[in-house]
Amino acid sequence: MAKRKRKQRPVPGVESSFPAVTAGLVSPSRRVPVEIARPPYALTGDPGPSVSPLTRTPDEIAAMRRTGQDAAEILLRAGEVVRPGITTDEIDRFVHEASIERGGYPSPLNYRGFPKSVCTSVNEVICHGIPDSRSLADGDIINIDVTLWKEGVHGDTSATFLVGDVDELSLRLVRETARALELGIGAVVAGGLVSDIGKAIESHAVRHRLGVVREFIGHGIGTEFHTNLQIPHYYDRRLSTRLEIGTSFTIEPMLTLGSPEAGLWDDDWTAATVDGTRSAQFEHTLLMGPDGAERLTVTASGECAHDLVAAAVA
């Protein structure tokens, strides 16, 4: 996920009343069978500089639709295994095996050295949580961020799931973050400004007294995990990039109950709110079409994990 650093202004909000998430033990990285094709960074961990154009060819678009469907299916099934007592390492194993079963490579694995096959971000962890031996507890919320590389392209999608009986504030956070994603997608029009997306998301967050994380943003995606295109989830009128037909990108707002300021754990990956308040995130990979943004990370039947969560928080 692309990073964009900017000084934070604390948001008055809710003091954290939950115990802090603590890191568990991280098991060895899982092996990928030799017959599975690998992205260029799989061996070295270095994706190199972005050289991909922002728009996709017809063949790439077709491949992204198929890969996005598979990624959506994996995330939907991963959400179904979420329950109190399961470890995030077990979720990693599920996603890893599901990726291989579909003939794909789990994109996070060794991307810039990331040690696991999926990101699992619990409670105050904003993003890039490393799966480990910690068991999910009743009342937790967890974002599962699945990216699949297949047919030479990536499909990237995430959702925040409920673990058992979740408190009302967390339910509101999850519900409004999912809604913020939909509003951001709805703001996309051919030739429109990237800043329109952030304006829609931030306006919704402010209305519901939620913070908008600025350090981590949406990004271009296709043959590369991250292209040079940046999609902030906050409004900045200086963001004058226009979205051309055929552009592929993610929108993935991260909203918080308190301050959106982020700090990194010692592992240099796990980003968490500095005040310990909870964060939620939802994400789709999208394609700019003549009639707006096409969701690429939905199953062949049009389902996605977001629907599973929406039913639970309605």
- Model pLDDT for residues 20-43, shown as the tens digit of each residue: 999 999 999 999 999 999 999 999
Six token digits for residue 271? 């980003």
Residue 113 DSSP symbol? G
Query: CA 309 to CA 314: how far, in whole Å?
Result: 9
How many residues does the structure list for the chain?
A: 314
Q: Which residue is it, tokens 């910690």?
A: 134
Closest C-alpha among 217, 234, 213 to residue 278: 213
Confidence (pTM): 0.94
Are the beta carbons of 308 and 167 closer than 8 angstroms? no
Query: CA 74 to CA 250: how far, in whole Å?
Result: 17
Residues 6+ apart with CB under 8 A from 196: 187, 188, 189
Mean pLDDT over residues 264-273, rounded? 97
Six token digits for residue 237? 């009128």
pLDDT of residue 239: 86
Question: Residue 255 to residues 109, 166, 187, 204: CA-CA distances in angstroms?
Answer: 26, 17, 18, 10
Q: Is the pLDDT of residue 199 over 90?
A: yes
Residue ranges covered by each domain of the chain: 58-313
pLDDT of residue 18: 80
Instruction: Report which secondary-structure segment, H or E, holds 78.
Output: helix 58-81
Q: Which residue is it, tokens 């790439």?
A: 60
Query: CA 229 to CA 247: how far, in whole Å?
Result: 9
Query: What integer best gives the mean pLDDT of the chain?
Result: 94
Domain 58-313 class in CATH: alpha beta
Predicted confidence (pLDDT) per residue in 48-60, tens digit: 999 999 999 999 9
